[in-house]
Amino acid sequence: MSTKDGGYQATAIAALADRAYERAGDEYTRAGWQILAEPRDETSGFDADEKGWVGQGLAALTVAAVAYRLAGRADRATHRGVEGVAVARDLTNALTEPVQQACLTEFVADFRVVGDLRDAEEAYDSAAAAYEVLGDEIDRPQYWGTTPLFQAAVAPIKQVARSTANGEIAVKWEDIHGSDPARPGAFLAHRARYKKQRFPMFVERVVDDGYLAAPRGTTAYNDEQYRCPNCESGDVNWIGDNVLCLRCSTPMEQ
């Protein structure tokens, strides 16, 4: 199950497939605002929520900023970054679990990266320190890592990273998290430290390359029913309402 995004993420992905990056930024922004207002039926963005579904709205705004930068609209990327920092901080009034608030600090750092704002490294350090301070007080760190809030906080880096890896999964669970869930603070702090090291590099790479892949959905390799008109691949990515090339996110031909 997912959030109520008004269908805007599907149209954003279609815009990515068309390499229409400013339009993609607009559609991701609309998705983000929609989710922040009402993540799910009878749930507002101001409600306490252990799952943290509202985080998917923050993720959409994060990707919007990246899309705007590819479109040459650094000004709009900056606006999304500033907006995202403010919203992530404000959400600590609703998501009151300390471990959730540390995750929201991750988002603050991510928005500083995609918006090309200052002090991203310091924000990642603050998120890592928040997890470390909580330490053994974090119950079930693997559970928290799989909640919608925490998954949303790694969705943008996964999408941006696969843009540089021929469409394959470039950031895995074991990359993001520490090796020992019995040390919950360190286990989750590794998320912030990994992103501090890698996310700015991935963003810079896609901006330089001028290409942002669609998120990875359901995939199939060497599917005989489809062929990419751009790169001739038969590897398929079904995501949203779109049937795209796994390799270059071009709409597939049947």
Report residue 42's pLDDT band, with 50, 70 and 90 as the boundaries.
confident
Segment 168-207, tens digit of pLDDT? 999 999 999 988 999 999 999 999 999 999 999 999 999 9
What pLDDT score was predicted for residue 37? 94
What pLDDT score was predicted for residue 2? 81
Question: What SS3 state is found at 218?
Answer: strand
Segment 143-158, tens digit of pLDDT? 999 999 999 999 999 9
Give helix then strand counts, H and E, for the chain.
Answer: 10, 3
**How much of the chain is helix, strand and coil, in % rounded to 5?**
60, 5, 35
Q: 34: which 2 tokens? A: 């929609």
The answer, yes or no, to whether residue 55 has pLDDT greater than 60, is yes
Residue 239 pairs in a beta bridge with 242
3-state secondary structure 97-138: CHHHHHHHHHHHHHHHHHCCCCCHHHHHHHHHHHHHHHHHHC
- In terms of C-beta density within 10 A (0-12 exposed, 13-18 middle, 19 or more buried), how is residue 230 classed? middle
pLDDT over 90 for what percent of the chain? 94
Residue 240 in contact with residue 9, Cβ under 8 Å?
yes
What pLDDT score was predicted for residue 238? 98
The domain locations on the chain are 8-212, 217-254
Segment 110-131, tens digit of pLDDT? 999 999 999 999 999 999 999 9
Average per-residue pLDDT in the chain?
96
